[in-house]
Amino acid sequence: MGRRRRTRIAFLTAAAVLAVAAGLVEYAPHVVALAQQPKHRAAPATADPTPPDDWNRKGTYLGAGQAYPSVVRLLASDSTPTCSGTVVHSPGGDIVITAAHCVFADGSYNTGLSVAPGTTGGSNPHGTWQVDRIWVDPHYTDNHDEDYDYAFLRVTRSDGARIEDAVGANTLVTNLPYHLTSVTTTGYPDDDNPGDAQLTCAMDVYRSPAQPNYREMHCDGYTTGVSGGPWVLLKPGARTGELVGIVGGFNGGGPSDDDPHTNAISYSPYFTAATKSLLAEAVAGQGGQAGH
């Protein structure tokens, strides 16, 4: 499936085409022009640790009582699962992050989406929220720059409930070292997932030797559907923590399908000031694309 092997996008009708950080207190009162947007810059070459040549680690499926409530499943307008994501801390308590390729492809936005947090076995214990608006960095929409393969979604519900109040949120952090220890990565694979559950893995992550603009992790089972799944630094016993990445980036978040470890290698875009700036736009309600 090439670049989109880690997501399944529902094409519905010609009309329905493909379409957070603690201390966020002030935001610019205007939308910054593309030429002024912060740009991703590869960190200087260093003697970064490299991923071990160990392919025995496999993800663990979580039961209903174990699932992370803040991890969401992204649903198409017909409720077909497409991707994963997570709630991001924001003052309004209404922001979700996923991969940009989950909501924008072939020049169009995927609209009519909703999110179901903590869903397991077909049950949505917290209900669903509708995607009201979508923010994707212009570097991605204009140039398909996979360094910017992330999107922020504003979600709403008719009863006024805020998703962050219901399930918690992870806090976006930027410019951390590529090599991090004990990162928990969670998502909803479509393949080999009979319990329709979250798959999670906690491991060290590294600067990718093959794709040095991205972080890389090794854990088997991350197949179609995990795109947008969060990479989180968790304190012992915590259910939410610091959001350091999502499944996405190069080739949609993994190597080519003919790689012998195609389902064991996952990538994440490196979060920088550009990521935080896009979140600020979403929080302020500036720009973006209507989600319905």
Query: What pLDDT is stored for residue 7 in this prediction?
Result: 56
Which domains are assigned to the chain? Answer: 2-21+48-290 (2.40.10.10)
Average pLDDT over residues 160-188: 98
* Cβ atoms 104, 140 nearer than 8 A: yes
CA atoms of 62 and 204, how far apart (whole Å): 20
Pairing mode, if any, of strands 104-105 and 171-172? unpaired
List all residues 6 or more positions away from 159 whose beta carbon is below 8 Å from its beta carbon: none
Q: Is the pLDDT confidence value at 123 over 60?
A: yes
217: tokens are 């992790």
Q: What is the mean pLDDT of the chain?
A: 87
Query: What pLDDT is stored for residue 28 in this prediction?
Result: 37
- pTM exceeds 0.95 for this model: no
Query: What pLDDT is stored for residue 6 in this prediction?
Result: 52
Nearest to 31 by CA among 174, 107, 185, 137: 137
Pairing mode, if any, of strands 129-136 and 114-117? antiparallel
Whole-number Cα distances in Å, 280 to 21, 26, 109? 9, 9, 20
Choose the most confident range, by mean pLDDT, from 35-44, 173-182, 194-203.
Answer: 173-182
